[in-house]
Structure 1
Amino acid sequence: MSCKNENRKEDLVDHQKVSMKYFKGYSDAQLFSGKLMRMDSFPSKFIKSRPVDVWLPESYSKENKYSVLYMHDGQMLFDSTTTWNKQEWKVDEWASKLMKDGKTEDFIVVAIHNIPELRWQDLFPQKAFYLLNEAEKKIIELQSNHIKQGNILYGDNYLKFLVEELKPIVDSEFSVHENMENTFVMGSSMGGLMSMYAISEYPNIFSGAACISTHWIGAAPIEDNPLPKVIFNYMKSYLPDSSTHKIYFDYGTETLDVHYPQYATTVNTILTKKGYTEANFKNFKFEGTDHSENSWNQRLDIPLTFLLGKE
């Protein structure tokens, strides 16, 4: 992959003059290709306002229609010079290459920024948490981190924001396919859980989800952790119709990902019993990879091709 041009601000689709009511061109991002549009503080009646970016490929044209990929943790996707750990997903690199090579349908990316202090509350699958019994809730409450606020969850409202507020504006301002078959969701870690939750709660909106290094343990590692059980029980009940949807999972083996391989068989069993096959379900192990954007950006082409690949 080519390096980003550090010497100038990328704005490679200046020829695309589009009148936007909400999203404005954001030239400060150092991109490999394409253009970033931003709404600095997206107003919502459901969740705390936050920035939302829309990445457009270099060839974006109102004469064409594009699929839409919604991604969580949006500030981590495009520009490592602005992220807290100086890493990024390299979404613009991979998306540009895959479209240019004809391996995926044309698509845009909607990047929803997280608010760090609210990330867990926003991204945990809310209905799964409510499956905890009282004894299990007490185990959770003994933790010394933000999971103690588990009775104040925003996962359902986060999805209402995405589906009822954000998607209609994206559909109106950009030249996109609005149907389920061309709408997808992707995230890592807690964003992996939320992507699974999104396609399960809104199966008529999303046809595919990619869940990278899915955080099956739900929060910080603890003994007798009840969260994986309720997450899997939720999936058994709510995963969408396998004949019209596809789901991708993966996991590494290092740092935080060391906790995930133990759940691979359970995940495979649940999806198989729900009717998923190799054609519409993946659960890949990436030996030696850790829980970081630098690991995820090495394999991003795999979930992108799985979701958006040309037939």
Structure 2
Amino acid sequence: MRRILMALVALLGLIAVPARAEDAGRLIEYERVEAAGLPPQRLTIWLPPGYDSSDKRYPVLYMHDGHNLFDLKNSNFNKIWAADKAMLRVMGQGIEPRIIVGIWAPGKDRFRQYLPRPAYDAAPPALKAKMDEIAGGPVISDAYLAWLAGPLKAWVDASFRTRPGRDDTAIAGSSMGGLMSCYAIAARPDVYGQAACVSSHWPAIGPDTVKGFNPDTLAVWTSFFDRTLGAPTGRRVWMDHGTATLDAFYAPYQEPIDGEFAKLGWQRGTDFESRVYPGAEHEENAWAARLPEILAWLLRR
């Protein structure tokens, strides 16, 4: 294991971002990370206030689309989640600070890296053909999850003062990243104790081709959760959506999925939450606005 970790460290290109004031934490960027079976990855890691002046160990929050989390200059649409500010805000409400590991999306490969492989494999031919149109290559989310839960987590736990247990490890993302977060907590209950599946893109096809509700797509998801999710066993999942732009298509999927969670013994308000934000659009400013609420619910003790 030590050799594996050392090899991984050797592959990481480190750029130290100038430290912020101690009361705001600090960011570190890793420009290129090689991961087996995946396009080159990139990381931005936020260390909370006090990390550098103590020997405290911290729980960890892994987040997809890391380029859209902290810094406008890295963002796709000049909008960010402001994840560090959201964490600082909930820390003021008594939530324990977490290290945030932002994993950048790999450009054109984002869809095929985030589309849960079991959903793709179970899709009927017409739906799979639409998935293939946007994927542009083999679906690799199984390799991505194996890397997230394996080599990446091992390196983070070896390189930073973390608490590596399941109850101290969360994962979060929006849209396709929301699907990936639900996939992670369902398929790897040994690793992830909390997941935020924000504005999850349940239609699972290109946004320009979403025309309405597809019962075949819903059947893929309900079957996936029925086979994979299991009882909560101490895990916690947040799900939500808005009602405008792309989020307007999500309610017919989300409501039955909520029912699937309940059928499997998940208690709403305790084990899972599912909320609707009237008027909220499918974009980073909307997710930033509700991220403190998400973190306060998801990361509470």
The aligned runs of 1:82-93 (5 Å cut-off) are 82-93=74-85
1:49 is aligned to: 40
Distance 1:102 1:60, change over 3 A: farther
1:218–1:228 CA contact under 8 A, matched in 2: no
- Provide the C-alpha distance between the structure 1 equivalents of 2:212 and 2:109, rounded to a whole number of angstroms: 24
Could you list the structure 1 runs, at least 4 aligned residues long, displaced by more than 6 angstroms after superposition.
28-32
List alignment gaps of at least 5 residues for structure 2.
Answer: 1-8
The residue identity in structure 1 corresponding to 2:277 is: F
1:16-41 CA-partner distances (Å, limit 9, x unpaired): xxxx9755522399999221112111
1:170–1:141 Cα change, 3 Å? same
**1:219 Cα deviation from its structure 2 partner:** 1.3
Matched ranges for 1:244-263 at <5 A: 244-263=234-253
* C-alpha separation in 2, matches of 1:47 and 1:153: 10
Number of aligned residues:
285
Compute the TM-score of the two structures, normalised by the length of structure 2.
Answer: 0.88
Superposition map of 1:198-237 within 5 A? 198-220=184-206, 221-222=210-211, 225=214, 226-237=216-227
| CA–CA separation in structure 1 for the residues paired with 2:37 and 2:21 | 31
Say whether the 8 Å CA contact 1:186–1:211 is kept in structure 2.
yes
- Distance apart, 1:80 and its partner CA: 1.6
The structure 1 residue matched to 2:59, chosen from 53, 64, 67, is 67
* Pair 143,153 (structure 1): closer, same or farther in 2 beyond 3 Å: closer
How do 1:257-272 and structure 2 match up within 5 A? 257-272=247-262
SS of residue in 2 equivalent to 1:109: strand
Determine helix, strand or coil for the equivalent of 2:231.
coil
Q: 1:175 aligns with which of 161, 170, 175?
A: 161
Selected match of 1:146 from 134, 140, 147: 134
Conserved 8 A contact 1:87-1:293: yes
Task: Decide which of 54, 69, 94 is 1:77's aligned counterpart.
Answer: 69
Residue identity opposite 1:141 in structure 2: A
Name the CA shift for 1:106/1:114 in 2 (closer, same or farther; >3 Å): same
C-alpha change, 1:212 and 1:143, in structure 2 (3 Å) is: closer
TM-score, normalised to structure 1, is 0.85
SS in 1 for 2:122: coil
SS at match of 1:92: helix
* Counterpart residue number, 1:17: none
| Counterpart mapping for 1:120-135 below 5 A | 120-132=111-123
Change (3 A) 1:31 1:42: farther
Give 1:279 shift.
Answer: 0.8
Q: Which amino acid aligns with 2:113?
A: D
Report % sequence identity: 28
Q: Root-mean-square deviation (CA), in Å? A: 2.3
| From 110, 118, 123, the counterpart of 2:101 | 110
Distance 1:77 1:240, change over 3 A: farther
